[in-house]
Amino acid sequence: MKEYQAIVTACKPLTANVQALTFDIGERAVVRPGQFLNISTGNEMNLLRRPIAICKAEGSEITVCFQIKGSGTASLAKAKRGDVLSVLLPLGNGFYASEREKKIALIGGGVGVFPMISCIRAYCEKKQVYSYIGFRNKDAVCMEEEIEKSTQYTIVTDDGSYGLHKNAVQAFADDFERNTPDVVFACGPTPMLKALQSFMAEKNIPCYLSLEERMGCGIGACLVCVCTLTGGEHARVCKDGPVFNAKEVLL
């Protein structure tokens, strides 16, 4: 992990409230899928950096995509080409598929779609990637040109206004017998991860979930992001995660 003074090269809307921000860190970015970064918001009033998944890393350029939620992301959305932002990266453990795991199922919902894009990009040429991606509605659908790089993909919406009318876990479950994966990676809202955790509970297939917790330091020092493991121990989502084995974490 290193601190960079990153130079913004683009900041543009993907949907009404999701922004894609690209910046240059001045050297080749070496990151694993599912890792994240902690970025200053460009507004001194926001003392803490904000944690955001690394969506794309191409040479020295990194792209993150974020929903405008509160004051931090609202000010980040105003970044302009040439602005300098302080960024800590790469953070967290990320997803990892072993040599033996050739078929990967990716399940993403809401802003959890963005780390799934990094998995598609990392694995689409070497593995079979089956993606099940959920959005709220048609207006929220984005990055389809990246999702399409999967071996096979299913887009679903909560209201059926685009793709199939179901949620991403249902879509995965409906396809499970036909396309049984060797490993499952997921990121999304807690109810989605809980549903997946419960579906996978009796299956003898590894399943990894990327958690989203409120964060402070992002580097393991403040304990703001602690979660509980099934054995009763605590873990820091920023440092020990954000990716955890579904059988080992309490949601």
Chain contacts with ligand FES (rule: CB under 6 A): 215-218, 220-225, 236, 238
Q: How far is the CB of 213 from ligand FAD (least distance, A)?
A: 5
Does 111 engage in binding with ligand FAD (CB under 6 A)?
yes
What is the SS3 assignment for 114?
helix
Q: How far is the CB of 242 from ligand FES (least distance, A)?
A: 10
x/- contact string, 5-44, with ligand FAD (CB under 6 A)? -------------------------------x--------
- Distance CA(192)–CA(133), nearest Å, equals 11
- Distance CA(171)–CA(161), nearest Å, equals 16
Residue 221, contacted partner among ligand FAD, ligand FES, none, CB below 5-8 A by kind? ligand FES
Q: How far is the CB of 78 from ligand FAD (least distance, A)?
A: 12
Closest CA to 37 of 215, 209, 246, 245: 215
**Cβ atoms of 113 and 150 closer than 8 Å:** no
**Cβ atoms of 211 and 242 closer than 8 Å:** yes
Q: How far is the CB of 2 from ligand FES (least distance, A)?
A: 17
Residue 70, contacted partner among ligand FAD, ligand FES, none, CB below 5-8 A by kind? ligand FAD
Half-sphere exposure of 143 (CA within 13 A, CB side): 32
Residue 220, contacted partner among ligand FAD, ligand FES, none, CB below 5-8 A by kind? ligand FES
**Cβ atoms of 67 and 17 closer than 8 Å:** yes
In this structure, is the dihedral angle defined by the CA atoms of residues 228, 230, 235 and 241, taken in order, positive or negative?
negative
- Distance CA(115)–CA(188), nearest Å, equals 9
Q: How far is the CB of 72 from ligand FAD (least distance, A)?
A: 2
Does 66 engage in binding with ligand FAD (CB under 6 A)?
yes
* Residues lying near ligand FAD in the complex (CB under 6 A): 36, 48, 50-53, 64-67, 69-73, 111, 114, 212-215, 242
